[in-house]
Amino acid sequence: PCFLRDWELQVHFKIHGQGKKNLHGDGLAIWYTKDRMQPGPVFGNMDKFVGLGVFVDTYPNEEKQQE
């Protein structure tokens, strides 16, 4: 558990490639949750959790008929 009242997270990443036509990945997620990660359908974690989840999704759902 984190017992700090104030905290800060800095994340640096770089995405590169051949342009928008190749930007078809699953994306990435940063999790800060009460419990440890449990396998599930949301970027590999369970879909119900207590905490903070920051998601960056690059999959073009509007082009594919998926949920």
Measured CA to CA in angstroms, residue 26 lies from 22, 23, 34, 41, 56 at distances of 12, 9, 24, 12, 9
Side chain identity at residue 3, one-letter code: F
Nearest CA-CA partner of 52 in 3, 4, 9: 9
Work out the pLDDT band at 9, boundaries 50, 70, 90: confident
What confidence tens digit (pLDDT) does each residue in 22-53 have? 555 667 788 888 888 888 888 788 888 888 88
* Higher per-residue confidence, 60 vs 5: 5
Prediction pTM value: 0.54
